[in-house]
Amino acid sequence: MSSNAPRLKVAAENLPVENGKRPIRPVRVGNVEFGGNRPILIAGPCAVESREQTLEIAKHVRDAGGDMLRGGAFKPRTSPYSFQGLGERGLEILAEAREVTGLPVVTEVMDPRLVDLVGQYADMLQIGSRNMHNYPILIEAGKSGKPVLLKRGWSATLQEWLYAAEYVALQGNLDIVMCERGIRTFSRGEYNRNTIDLNVVPALRAQTFLPIIVDPSHATGDDELVPPIAKAALAVGADGLIIEVLDHHIDRARVKCDGAQSIRPPALEEIVREARWIETRRSETPASS
């Protein structure tokens, strides 16, 4: 922030440092709390494709020890010919999956006219990477009072990302979780879809009290890279992860969305174990950076 920038509502200095603990303002979604010692694991399919697929994956997420469920009902797709999501039917399926598993649900909203509708079903509203600069939707999400998962635009600066959060916060809603999901660089398409930017996690931490999570699925675009990058994100200090999961018996090529970067349940279990270990370690040590 330049020195003459207005004092942001989401800036760190508003919160007092206590006992050397880093000043994170926790965000609660149901019984889940972002910003405590426990890294929160959100997992689920890229898109809600059917009731069966979604319920099955939701149970895997619960059984693996995940904390929340993700899944797209309204999907922003580069091509108008790609699967666009099931819409409100997808929201109903997500609500049923929540009932079955007890896991709170986060799903994307991509139209300011649909914020109310999505908010009736979801526990947390996701603003996707393409919409980080979509100010009408940020304002509606702020007004909704629902917790917001704010993904970084794939070419957004840290300052632009903070200002996007400020649009939400100015509506009186500080329940914002920031999500790094990879940036677009020259290496796009060679061994990854995006470059995971872990530098931004401690850099953002120094600027705001908002919790920060990482999306290793979009940040790599390759299921083989997801587990090591998930571990790196936890080690760098992220407050959680959001991960795309694929069922055991589903052919990767037949999934309607992000098949190449979705992991199978055993890989999810491995990541959950790492997260639990990190939780123990964070609880034992007096927190520093």
224 binds its own copies (CB under 8 A): yes
Residues 63, 172, 202, 252: which binds its own copies (CB under 8 A)? 202
212 binds its own copies (CB under 8 A): no
Q: Does 237 bind its own copies (CB under 8 A)?
A: yes
The answer to whether residue 215 forms part of the interface with its own copies (CB under 8 A) is no
CA dist., res. 98 & res. 102, Å (int): 5
Six-digit token string for 91 = 């929201």
Cβ–Cβ < 8 Å for 139, 171: yes
Q: Which of 100, 170, 250, 260 contacts its own copies by CB under 8 A?
A: 170
By beta-carbon proximity to its own copies, the closer residue of 145 and 266 is 266
Distance between CA 243 and CA 269 in Å, rounded? 12
Selected binder of its own copies within 22, 28, 59, 77 (CB under 8 A): 77
State the minimum distance, in angstroms, from the CB of residue 148 to its own copies: 15
Q: Is 280 in the site for its own copies (CB under 8 A)?
A: no
Nearer to its own copies, 123 or 180 (CB): 180
Minimum CB distance to its own copies smaller for 74 or for 123:
74
Is 236 a binding residue for its own copies by CB under 8 A? The answer is: yes
Q: Give me the residue label for tokens 């965000």.
A: 27
Shortest Å distance, C-beta 52 to its own copies = 28
Between CA 70 and CA 40 the distance in angstroms is 12
| 228 contacts: CB under 8 Å, gap ≥ 6 | none
Q: Does residue 266 touch its own copies according to CB under 8 A?
A: no
| Residue 4 lies near its own copies (rule: CB under 8 A) | no
- The distance of closest approach from Cβ of residue 195 to its own copies in the complex, given in angstroms and rounded to an integer, is 6
Residues in binding contact with its own copies, number by CB under 8 A: 64
Beta bridge partners of 11: 208
Contacts of 72 (CB under 8 A, 6+ apart): 45, 46, 47, 48, 85, 90, 107, 108, 257
Helices vs strands, H then E, count in the chain = 8, 10
Site map 240..259 versus its own copies, x via CB under 8 A: --------------------
Contacts of 84 (CB under 8 A, 6+ apart): 74, 75, 77
Give the strand pairing for 32-34 and 27-29. antiparallel
Residue with tokens 């199978």: 264
Interacting residues with its own copies (CB under 8 A): 5-6, 76-81, 110-113, 130-131, 133-136, 154-155, 157-160, 163, 166-167, 170, 183-192, 195-203, 206, 219-220, 222, 224-225, 227-229, 231-237, 289
